[in-house]
Structure 1
Amino acid sequence: MTSIIDNAAPARHGSASGLDALFSPNAVAIVGASDDIRKYGNWIAVQALKGSRPVHLVNRTRSTVLGLPTVPSVSAVGSPVDLAVIAVPAAGFEAAVDDALAAGAKAIVGISAGLGEAGGEGLALEQRITAKVLAAGARMLGPNCLGVLDHTTGLTLASNEFPLGNIGVISQSGNLALELCALLADHGLGVSRFASLGNQADLDAADLIEAYAGHEGTAAIAVYCEDFRDGRRFARAAAKAAAAGKPVVLLTVGATDASVRNAKSHTGAMVSSGIVVEAACRAAGIEQVTSPAQMAHLLQALVRSKVPAGSRTAVFADGGGQASVASDSAATQGLDVVEFPADLQAALAAELPPTAAVSNPVDVAGGGEQDIMCFARVLDHLTASDAVDATLMSGYFGGYGSYGPELAAKEITAAHAMASSTAARGGTVVVQTMNWESAAADALRDGGVPVYRGIEEAAWVLGRLARRRTEPATGVPGLPAPATPVEDTGYHLSRRLLAGAGIPFVPAAEVATREDLLSAARGLNYPLVLKALGDEHKSDRGGVVLGIADPPALEDAWNDVQARLAPSSCSLEEMANLSGAVELLVGVRRDPRFGPIVLVGLGGVFAEVLRDVRCALGPVTREQARGLLLSLRGAALLTGARGRAPVDLDAAADVVARLSVLAAEHPEISEIECNPVAALPDRAIALDARIVLD
């Protein structure tokens, strides 16, 4: 197989690591500063003036704004200004950028809308302005964005206030960012940095992830993105951030046609399909979520807890019903609520009333009212045990303080002890309590233990943490050097190209006349297959005749196909013995953002009916291809279901890997497919081939 080299292109406009002018400027100019409370120029100016760095208000027609003197242009400031925030109508945006660059600005934040997202002349104008920014050695965020913020440097250049914390937020939607921040605040979390992507005319999500990955004040990165631009670079940036200890949580769109239409009207975005984004997330170790609420829940766990060593989960509650519900919730998330060994049960029993359950789940059975510190002792036993990887706690904890001031103080003490013990043991503990807003719950959070209101949320995040260990990132593959472009996609030319890459086919010949047919048949072994060429769904139209046993049957098949379909040519092939075969779909599609995407699934004529498909960023190795095949819902058919002989999985995986490399070598190919590939007990062989050029 062709070796893979990492020839990934660098960032489109150079490194994003040097964004000091954006996140830590010496001074700021607000172009379009206004007294009108309906305008962004007002909202951002109000926020900017809360900081400690110099802020210059630029307005061409007013001498004062917000009671402060203005200047008519950035050039008129008279001192260096690293960053200009431009909030003027689209018609005045280019002139404002020209002025800021002439004054020496190194970063532009474009609030103005009506440019690239409008298409046509607006897009052309945006591209012209971007070229000027880059030629000046500057960078631009937006346009059509909400602003930028960095709490670690005291920079507040967004339309709204954001709670202080350690979550870096990158968003292509202003309102979604605001909703996320409100949800983070519910968990006692906040924002370190915020950047609004807007149209990504220059700086894109990958640039910002790279900048956040090296930011000391950021512990995790939250991204809402509609258009990934260079999807491979986005994935690589996220993988680097995760390697630096800053996991990336992604919310995107593309699950429905309606969401795609709205994204295109919102930012002129090109939206990749959901299955492609999922493949990129698996490769890069990105945590994908479906709502801002899920994002906030998972971020709390990622920054406060740790990935457990396995899925063995202790359920710990102070009520029988909640213990049972928590156990079921944990199992639904793939966690193993295993019975404890005898020594652990004995240690737990010694801490609790005789009526307590200690086999897993643990139910303190009223022990909390008698001795609130039993929670800390039980949790310490659980986190110290070699039989437990993680603990899911559920119930009433945090509410005992309502029974009196003495118990309230002890409950907080117990919470501090639980958090300290968890940290000292290096344990993974997730808590759900109906009293999630209590002082004791806050003490747990402050000590690094995530706390949730609902058991579904708590079990879900614990399951996601566990899967970070059991389903690690596969890595973002590099791309091979391009090969000589393919110019003809005829069926037999496609077969020869694939066969040259090491993909096995049955012997075959292309025939256009009866004489060609009879001549080719003399060099092949019966039974034969006759395929009418030029029809993607030829089997549905009777264009594939199987089991041709002898020359008379061959002539009959030829006459029938010619009479019904009149194809320009046919393929005559030996018929493979498919006894014990599983038919697979193996293909590669080229996504405009993420490049070659490998697809494997249960195939043949039922591929579109079964829709049992898995995807990965291509190219893939044989081992990765094997993992894809085994992750299919119907994988049991490959490994020997109901007494069937298992197929040669390595041979099938080899076909997938070889096809993926071939497709990656040919960027001019938009689709390449072998359907079906017959996976047999002793080999795998391709029975069809199709190539579509871009």
Structure 2
Amino acid sequence: MALVGVTSRSGKGSNNPLEVMLERGYQGKIYPVNPKGGTILGHRAYTSLLDVPEIPDVAVICAPRDTVPELFGQCCAKKVKLVIIVAQGFFDGDERGKLMQKEILKTAAKYGVRVLGPNTLGIVNNFNRFCTSFIRFMNPAAAAGILCQSGVFVVGAPQIFSGIGLLIDTGNTTDIEFSELLGHIVRDPRLKVINLHMESLRDGPQFMQAAKDAVALKPVIIYKTGASPGGAIITSSHTGALAGEDRIFDTAFKQCGLLRVEDVEEMIDLNKVFTTFNGIKGNRVGVVSISGGAAIIAVDACSRYGLEIAKMSSNTEAQLSELFPAWAHCSNPVDMWPAGMFHGFHESYRRILEAFIADPQMDAVICITGSFLDKEGDFLDTTELIREVAGKNPDKPVVTWTYGQRFQEYAREFEKENNVVYFYSIDRAARALSALYRYHHVIKKKERQPVSLPVNPGQAQVEKILSGKTAGSLSQTDVFEILESYGIPVARRGKAKNIEEAVSLAEKIGYPVAMKVLSPDIIHKSDAGGVRLNIGNVRQFEDAFTSMRREIELKHTGAQIEGVLIQEYLDKGTELLLGCKRDPQFGPVLAFGAGGVFTEIMNDISLRIPPLSEEETIDMIRETKVSKILAGARGATAVNLDVLTRCLTRLAQLALANPSISEMDINPLLAYADRVVALDARITLR
């Protein structure tokens, strides 16, 4: 490797990556490059990269920003294949920095050079002691890989992770994208789990495909920051890319099978279980506790995270009943204190733990112990016992929590051997075991084959309607025609410009009818007083027309009124919302949920990023609360989900085939037993 622009300073505060590399014991060749030449830490320093006697595998430019373009030119002339740029102030800085980054990318493409960064601390490989960072990174090699978008993980990794194998800081991702690096790091056979720290994303579909491929190989944990509005603003300037809405990111992560964590502590916990255990056979848990109260806490935590409290096998029950007095009930979870009083604390704990580990009806064991302040008198110390028993049975996960004054000391004892995982709370233990189960039995087993949707026969008609249209809302007439072209049923309707046309149209459709104002200036018609429903005869119709016109004039003075929409009036169906929004990172995002005037208040919405398989579409529907009504809850008419999946698929086709569409809403879509009908809809072009 070549360190281009490396300083000759050493010692405290030198920020010298060569010094760090030598301290770590890296055995590869290192070529310092410094315009002053001479010797740096016992290595000859070359005044130019062009003078280095061989082509380095990688060059690290660790010089100030304004010198980077010239030094990068030397890298290109030397035909270096990978260049890591440490300096800040490019896309994350001023206009000059943005222009410099664009020029670097242009030059890199011309010479076939790959660039990591700028604004990166580069790569740490603990397997061969390689490190491009000036941070003194001394963690032991372990089976965890990290791909991050901030140097905070390079600086903080020794504190966050007890050990890591490979860490890559992507920086500004000028050239090498997050998705490409994920595809590389996940194939390292030395790694058992991959951690992602993401601030933002440029190409959502590319990332989703890389993530789906990665999850098929090993668990991938993701910590997404910038979820709050303030965090999103900082994110956009920090990485040079806009942060998308967090709910959409969450949807994408779930579709890919990524394990999203809410904080660094959860990331630590999940790494512990995935690097320690090779799997888990199910979600049935045994709990061995020295306290009945602590056992109840464990039961509650397991319930919260989808774990079952296992039922003891008859064999286990028979073995353990010998330990307990007649008045004590022996079941899972076990409060082993009564047994300890009769047969000795350690002996009882050992026999119970051995029985639980051997029980085929238990897939994991949570051990709860206590610690006294006086170490000499601490007969509750079972750390060695638990490690010993668990070490003989590596196929069954054993996790532990200790309450009392010396819990941190106990934690260090458990971490000496990699066969039991210690957690700082029962809740964290249950959450981590749940993630272990979900990956091996839900996520990994789910088929995530690429889905392609055929072109809808109505696409040619839609292209005619959209031809020549500019940004903004389409007319109601165009919207309904587009939906019908794609096979989405729409209520019988017509447009009228005055009351005479409206009366004639209502009689043609047949009473009862609904009346809605048509105006490009009025989006939410109900709020504006622009909707009249269940009009039963001509007299009611004329009164409704007059009252609606007056209300619109009062609430929306100056609004452009194109007329009124007269529709057949339908009721008794379940009101649903179907929608689609074009996200800058992921493209079209499909929405399904409870519809009607209270849809935003109810917030009963499920999102997916198309294209979707039929199974994914059904899962999307079943995620919502309204799906219980669709299934016939409380005497409601059950709806055939096939008609809904067809409708959602056609809406996805429409969004994917027409990139000019920014947003679509069908609200309400009335669902009946074997059919659906769109009553209102809007489409916005970008």
TM > 0.5 fold call = yes
Give TM-score, length-normalised by structure 1: 0.87
Q: Residue 511 of structure 1 is aligned with which of 485, 496, 502?
A: 496
Q: Is the 8 A contact 1:436 1:451 kept in 2?
A: no
Report the Cα distance in structure 2 between the residues aligned to 1:381 and 1:500, rounded to whole angstroms. Answer: 65
In structure 1, the gaps of 5 or more residues are: 1-26
Q: Is the 8 A contact 2:288 2:366 kept in 1?
A: yes
Tell me the equivalent position of 2:479: 494
Give the 5 Å matches for 1:596-611: 596-611=588-603
CA 1:55–1:481 in structure 2 vs 1: closer, same or farther (change >3 Å)? farther
1:358 maps to a residue whose letter is C
Deviation track 1:212-261 (CA, whole Å, cap 9, x = no partner) reads 111122111111111122122222212212211x2111111232111111
CA 1:682–1:559 in structure 2 vs 1: closer, same or farther (change >3 Å)? same
Q: Residue 667 of structure 1 is aligned with which of 659, 663, 666?
A: 659
Residue 98 of structure 2 aligns to a residue in which SS? helix
Report the Cα distance in structure 1 between the residues aligned to 2:599 and 2:564, rounded to whole angstroms. Answer: 23
Q: Residue 595 of structure 1 is aligned with which of 562, 565, 587?
A: 587
Give the 5 Å matches for 1:92-491: 92-118=67-93, 120-160=95-135, 161-163=137-139, 164-185=141-162, 190-244=163-217, 246-350=218-322, 357-365=329-337, 370=344, 372=346, 374-396=348-370, 412=384, 414-421=386-393, 423=394, 426-434=395-403, 442=413, 446-468=417-439, 471-472=442-443, 475=448, 478=451, 480=453, 485=463, 486-487=466-467, 488=469, 489-491=474-476
Q: Is the 8 A contact 1:615 1:628 kept in 2?
A: yes
Aligned-residue identity in percent: 26
- Larger relative contact order (CA 8 Å, sep ≥ 6): 1
Query: What is the deviation of 1:509?
Result: 1.7
Residue 392 of structure 2 aligns to a residue in which SS? helix
1:330 maps to a residue whose letter is C
Report the Cα distance in structure 2 between the residues aligned to 1:480 and 1:314, rounded to whole angstroms. Answer: 46
Tell me the equivalent position of 2:650: 658
Report the Cα distance in structure 1 between the residues aligned to 2:574 and 2:124, rounded to whole angstroms. Answer: 55
Residue 372 of structure 1 aligns to a residue in which SS? helix
Q: Is the 8 A contact 1:597 1:618 kept in 2?
A: yes
Residue 191 of structure 1 aligns to a residue in which SS? coil
Tell me the equivalent position of 1:546: 533
Residue 599 of structure 2 aligns to a residue in which SS? helix
Report the Cα distance in structure 2 between the residues aligned to 1:46 and 1:476, rounded to whole angstroms. Answer: 47
Deviation track 1:559-603 (CA, whole Å, cap 9, x = no partner) reads 444443551133211111x22x32221111121111221111212
Q: Residue 557 of structure 1 is aligned with which of 530, 544, 551?
A: 544
2:317 maps to a residue whose letter is Q
CA 1:63–1:171 in structure 2 vs 1: closer, same or farther (change >3 Å)? same
Deviation track 1:451-500 (CA, whole Å, cap 9, x = no partner) reads 21221211221222333366535737545477665444322222222222
CA 1:333–1:404 in structure 2 vs 1: closer, same or farther (change >3 Å)? closer
Tell me the equivalent position of 2:57: 82
Report the Cα distance in structure 1 between the residues aligned to 2:510 and 2:684, rounded to whole angstroms. Answer: 31
Deviation track 1:256-308 (CA, whole Å, cap 9, x = no partner) reads 11111111232223112111111111111100011111111111112223554
CA 1:320–1:529 in structure 2 vs 1: closer, same or farther (change >3 Å)? same
Deviation track 1:513-549 (CA, whole Å, cap 9, x = no partner) reads 4454344334312111111122211111011111122
Residue 586 of structure 1 aligns to a residue in which SS? strand
CA 1:281–1:511 in structure 2 vs 1: closer, same or farther (change >3 Å)? same
CA 1:103–1:345 in structure 2 vs 1: closer, same or farther (change >3 Å)? same
**Bigger mean CA deviation after superposition, 367-376 or 446-455:** 367-376
Q: Is the 8 A contact 1:419 1:444 kept in 2?
A: no
CA 1:123–1:259 in structure 2 vs 1: closer, same or farther (change >3 Å)? same
Aligned residues: 655
Query: What is the deviation of 1:366?
Result: 6.1
CA 1:101–1:196 in structure 2 vs 1: closer, same or farther (change >3 Å)? same
Residue 431 of structure 1 aligns to a residue in which SS? strand
Report the Cα distance in structure 1 between the residues aligned to 2:325 and 2:286, rounded to whole angstroms. Answer: 19
Q: Residue 624 of structure 2 is aligned with which of 629, 632, 655?
A: 632
CA 1:91–1:549 in structure 2 vs 1: closer, same or farther (change >3 Å)? same
2:72 maps to a residue whose letter is V
Deviation track 1:128-154 (CA, whole Å, cap 9, x = no partner) reads 211211322221111011121112233
Report the Cα distance in structure 2 between the residues aligned to 1:400 and 1:218, rounded to whole angstroms. Answer: 41
1:505 maps to a residue whose letter is V
Deviation track 1:611-657 (CA, whole Å, cap 9, x = no partner) reads 12221121333432332222224543333343433344443333223
CA 1:84–1:691 in structure 2 vs 1: closer, same or farther (change >3 Å)? same
Q: Is the 8 A contact 1:306 1:465 kept in 2?
A: no
Q: Is the 8 A contact 1:677 1:685 kept in 2?
A: yes
Report the Cα distance in structure 2 between the residues aligned to 1:120 and 1:481, rounded to whole angstroms. Answer: 44
Report the Cα distance in structure 1 between the residues aligned to 2:36 and 2:325, rounded to whole angstroms. Answer: 78
CA 1:438–1:402 in structure 2 vs 1: closer, same or farther (change >3 Å)? farther
Q: Is the 8 A contact 1:31 1:84 kept in 2?
A: no
Q: Is the 8 A contact 1:589 1:671 kept in 2?
A: yes
- Indicate yes or no: 2:21 matched with 1:35: no
CA 1:340–1:172 in structure 2 vs 1: closer, same or farther (change >3 Å)? same
Tell me the equivalent position of 1:526: 511
Tell me the equivalent position of 2:557: none
In structure 2, the gaps of 5 or more residues are: 554-559
Residue 46 of structure 2 aligns to a residue in which SS? coil
1:594 maps to a residue whose letter is F
Query: What is the deviation of 1:86?
Result: 0.9
Q: Is the 8 A contact 1:338 1:360 kept in 2?
A: yes
Tell me the equivalent position of 2:578: 586
Q: Is the 8 A contact 1:372 1:411 kept in 2?
A: no
Report the Cα distance in structure 2 between the residues aligned to 1:537 and 1:36, rounded to whole angstroms. Answer: 67
Tell me the equivalent position of 1:7: none
Report the Cα distance in structure 2 between the residues aligned to 1:413 and 1:393, rounded to whole angstroms. Answer: 11
CA 1:597–1:448 in structure 2 vs 1: closer, same or farther (change >3 Å)? farther
Tell me the equivalent position of 1:22: none
Query: What is the deviation of 1:361?
Result: 0.7
Report the Cα distance in structure 2 between the residues aligned to 1:500 and 1:162, rounded to whole angstroms. Answer: 63
Give TM-score, length-normalised by structure 2: 0.88
CA 1:272–1:404 in structure 2 vs 1: closer, same or farther (change >3 Å)? closer
2:68 maps to a residue whose letter is F
